[in-house]
Structure 1
Amino acid sequence: GGGSVPAATLEEVYGGHSFELEHLGAPTLFVDGGSYALRRIQTRTPAEHMLDGRRYALEVQLLHEPEGAGPHGHRAVGVSVLFDQELEGGSPGFVSKLASVAPDATRVARRLVKDLTFSEIAAALGQSLKEYYRYPGSLTTPPCTEGIAWFVARRPLPVGEEDVRRFRMTEGDNARPPQPLNGRTVEVIA
């Protein structure tokens, strides 16, 4: 699902790794019979996921948590998009908006990205997410909880150097090193 819920109606708490979204009308994904609502937007510099052995400048992870009654076969669902500084074009608008508030935020600061909407995020990521990889994994920050269904876009999007610099200035290199597959199966969905 999507929606045009303005982010001004959200409370976004920036904790150095993610924007925590507190809003009951957040977009919902339906995965394997369960309903999962968007709760966090995380940024990683450099990217944690790699494509063909290449690590990209930025990764945006949309973390969804179980919502409502019914079967939930996963502890969470992560949707991840990689961003490449070498691609033509600038950053999607929502990435620039998040980057613009990140340097001024602290672990306890509450900041609003007033003109950001969920529909803007969906429009920016939609084409990239038509083809993706899917695998069972874990959260990428401690305690690295297992049981996460990851969906990683197969096509990176462009990102501007200034936006990457702002995230990196705030967070440093905050990505977990690449992890071995440990027998997990990665599905290609095209």
Structure 2
Amino acid sequence: MRRLEEKTIASKSIFDGKIIRLQVDEVELPNGNTSTREIVKHPGAVAVLAVTEENKLVLVRQYRKPLEKTILEIPAGKLEPGEDPMECARRELEEETGYRAESLHPLVSFYTSPGFADEIIHIYEARGLKAGEAHADPDEFVEVVELEMEEAFDRLKKEEIHDAKTVTALYIWQNRSLISS
């Protein structure tokens, strides 16, 4: 089996922000040559697949500056240092949508962009939703939207749903519906 690992020779932090940290690493490649890697360090995130008793997916409509557009997403947020992902999922669901879940179950975790970032996102399924009042962060402006599955896939085709975590959750929801029918 070939050795594929890259050994870090030097690492330099070039930006330390509120959400991400950027670093540039000089690495030794498996063939002995050297190269440079630009890496985004991220604390990780959670997202919640929440479906109401009426079988509607709970989403938030939010403007995303990097995309310069508004999209529909499942509720999600960044992990705080040392925070349990399940507790973060519970907190984010309530903050963004007002819904409280009787229970949360892990569905899948994945790296969002492993070519340049270490961000991992954990998706949970929320069960037993109870409506309440949302209380988003002061710099967060969201609108709660509930869609039936067909409507959600229509929004996917229109690129109103256009991010990896929501697309993943949407297909998990569809797959579970097919299995249970």
Q: Structure 2-normalised TM-score?
A: 0.30
Q: Structure 1-normalised TM-score?
A: 0.29
Rg larger for: 2
Q: Which has the higher contact order (CA 8 A, sep 6+)?
A: 1
